[in-house]
Amino acid sequence: MKRIAFLCVAVVMVAGAVALTTSASGHSDEEAAPVYGVRVPHGYRDWRLVSVARVGDPLNDLRAKLGNDIAIKAYREGKLPFPDGAIIARLAWQQVTSETIKNAFRVRGGTETHLSPEQVEKLADGSFVSGSPTNVQFMVKDSKKYASTGGWGFAQFNDGKPADEATHKTCFSCHEPAKDGDFVFTRYAP
């Protein structure tokens, strides 16, 4: 019995050490992206929603921005610049058509709304859901480490693999027009 108790304590201690290691690093063990050295942050898919967006042809994607706790708190308090430690994730998926949803619009449109059949068809044609993921991007705030790029480090991963150096060299110049918003385009969606 004592041995079992000892084993249990040992297991809990090892589990605790593993948990500490994971949360101390705060990111996956996968490869760091070039230029800024950002890795995929651990558990980012569980972060809270900042907002959603859509990008037109030829990208044709649907996007969600998620924020870690520091980023969400800053967004909700309207604090700019974002404090160190804030991370914003941009997920994107190809926009695809759902015939099930289109048919639902047609059924409902035909019986319960004031839309004409032509209007319902237009609504259905312009409706999309998310398909395959395209890539994931991160903005990591560290005002000292990334002082020359507005305090932000940028990264893009395609299926867990970092995009190339050339891609990462375009990040900051693209975000410069959002200087008034601390180089972040996305506003919080209530």
Q: At what angle do helices 99-111 and 117-125 cross, to 10 degrees?
A: 160
- Could you say whether residue 168 binds a copy of itself (CB under 8 A)? no
- In this chain, which of 1, 4, 118, 126 binds a copy of itself, going by CB under 8 A? 126
Decide: is 174 part of the binding site for a copy of itself (CB under 8 A): yes
Specify the residue, 8 or 107, whose C-beta has the smaller distance to a copy of itself.
107
Q: Cα 79 to the chain's mean position, in Å?
A: 20
Contact with a copy of itself (CB under 8 A): which of 31, 125, 164, 165?
A: 125
User: Is residue 118 near a copy of itself by the rule CB under 8 A?
Assistant: no
The answer to whether residue 26 forms part of the interface with a copy of itself (CB under 8 A) is: no
Among 37, 128, 142, 145, binds a copy of itself (CB under 8 A): 128
Tokens for 163?
């995009």
**Of these, 98, 135, 142, 145, which contacts a copy of itself (CB under 8 A)?**
98
Query: Judged by CB under 8 A, does residue 93 bind a copy of itself?
Result: yes
Rounded Cα distance between 187 and 93, Å, is 20
Q: Residues 158, 165: contact at Cβ < 8 Å?
A: no
Whether residue 161 contacts residue 31, with contact meaning beta carbons closer than 8 Å, is answered with yes
Binding mask 42-71 for a copy of itself (x = CB under 8 A): ---xxxxx-xxxxxxxxxx-xxx-x-----
Question: Is residue 17 part of the contact set for a copy of itself (CB under 8 A)?
Answer: no
- The candidate with the shortest Cα–Cα distance to 108, out of 95, 127, 83, 90, is 127
CA atoms within 13 A on the CB side of 41: 24
- Are 33 and 155 in contact by the 8 Å Cβ rule? The answer is yes
Contact call for residues 110 and 119 (beta carbons, < 8 A): no
Cα angle, residue 189 at apex, residues 186 and 190 outer, rounded to 5°: 155
x/- contact string, 130-159, with a copy of itself (CB under 8 A)?
A: x--x--------------------------
Residues that bind a copy of itself (CB under 8 A): 45-49, 51-60, 62-64, 66, 91, 93, 95, 98, 100-101, 103-104, 107-108, 111-112, 115, 119, 122-130, 133, 170, 173-175, 177-178, 181, 185-187, 189-190
